[in-house]
Amino acid sequence: MQAQPAPGICHYRYTPDKQPLPDTKCTPGARNPAVTQANLKSTICVPGYTSKIRPPASITGAEKAANAKSYNYTGPMNDAEYDHYLPLSWGGDPDDARNLWVEPPSPDHKSGAGPNNPKDVVEAKGHTAICSGKITLAAAQEAITTDWTTALKTLGLT
């Protein structure tokens, strides 16, 4: 299990439309050093790549509980997602605590319905653009770790 930031030290940020963003000091995102622009076709662009590197729930469950304390998240745990801020499919590090955060539900979430993560749509569109060569890996990584809600616009994908 990765060590997590101290309880209460991390603070959520929110966009004007109330989408959650992580604390940039606690969760700035972390790149997987094994993924480069030169090896995209043998790493993130291979179907099933993320399932091969994703940490098992036996590890992430305890990390999620500890990270929730770091962020003072008190909502239902099944409504939050322990999320890789820099997505695995964009070359994010699977294990680095600087890349993982308890992402609270979005504003339109129905309590008890499990995670609703509009960030997933951004991740899918960006992954397609990275693998097709429309955008570079570095530009994508910079855009999503700056603000996932504006990443597609920043990258010219909207």
Could you read off the pLDDT tens digit of each residue along the chain, which spans 158 residues? 889 999 999 999 999 999 999 999 999 999 999 999 999 999 999 999 999 999 998 888 999 999 999 999 999 898 899 999 999 999 999 999 999 999 998 888 777 766 667 899 999 999 999 999 999 999 999 999 999 999 999 999 98
> Is 30 within 8 Å of 86 (Cβ atoms)?
yes
pTM, to two decimals: 0.91
The token pair that represents 17 in the structure block: 């439309």
Question: What are the residue boundaries of the structural domains of the chain, listed by start?
Answer: 13-116
> Is 122 within 8 Å of 144 (Cβ atoms)?
yes
